[in-house]
Chain A
């Protein structure tokens, strides 16, 4: 059964740019958080260490390998 339904196709209009001065504080805040997370998954107890044991390294071990980082 054919039905003719006219549904307005959502417009894929270009999106307006966000002013840079609005982005920067969040970029700094978010950037620091992102780097801390990446440090613990990627580097801690490998090339650099904050904690002296190997718990963090061993716990995220498989993810670090698969993420492509040098692990040990």
Chain B
């Protein structure tokens, strides 16, 4: 298996995973989005009040729009996942392809999504001042960058320490470093709160939970599908594989 094969597998796994994530998003994510838009229409909040000729209708937004968006996300995440897998597989711990894939997927969900999410939780339509979108996006991406940096640094430190201190201690120190850097990021970056005081808390909770679940389904499925595809290719045939000698 060459690196190109891995990349294709990752993106295919992402595309398959996005079908599941789309199902979850349609069932669990759309109701709170619709409720928030309905709320916006009845209040003076101009964000997303419907006008006479919307560029894209709600029906398109919640069906093929949502499907296309999630498919693009899934494919992109799958590609990124394959690259991360190539760097990590065989270098961190002694795990099978499947276990490595699932571990990377869950870690990526935590690092790329959950850490920025807990600092800057997503808002449904009708929440957020359109004037501050650039500022909010910049802060969100800054938190994302800090999280990714912390994860890469923790991984590097953990690998470096494993030889001398053992995997357990190295993992503890690496985990501690990750949490310390992320906590510093939480403290340094500004607090943003643009939720109107009258916005229903339970609706906000439903939306944020749906967002959490959608990304969880997407990443878990990427890890499991990629693991299944790769395990067969790596362990099924008794090839040494993955190295140049074992390539097709």
Q: Which residues of A are at the interface with B, using a C-beta cutoff of 8 A?
A: 10-20, 22-23, 25-27, 29-31, 33-35, 37-38, 40-41, 43, 46-48, 53-55, 58-72
Contacts and interface: CB of A to CB of B under 8 A. Distances in A.
Contacts of A11: 235
Interface of B: 2-4, 6-7, 25, 29-30, 33, 47-48, 54-56, 60-62, 65-66, 68-70, 72-73, 75-77, 79-80, 82-83, 86-87, 89-91, 93-100, 113, 116-117, 120-125, 128, 130, 133-134, 136-138, 140, 207, 210-211, 214-215, 234-236, 240-244, 246
A15 B234 contact: yes
Contact of A14 (B3, B70, B95, B140): B95
A16 B7 contact: no
A69 B139 CA distance: 11
Contacts of B6: 18, 26
Nearest to B95: A14
Interface of B is mostly: helix
Contacts of B241: 15-16
Given A14-B90, A16-B242, A62 B30 contact: yes
Residue among B30, B48, B69, B75 having the largest count of chain A Cβ atoms under 10 Å:
B69
Given A70-B136, A71-B125, A63 B65 contact: yes
Given A15-B100, A30-B83, A34-B80, A72 B130 contact: yes
A66 B79 contact: no
B140 A69 contact: yes
A64 B48 CA distance: 14
A67 B243 CA distance: 36
A17 B90 CA distance: 4
B33 A18 contact: no
Given A12-B235, A15-B89, A58-B54, A23 B3 contact: yes
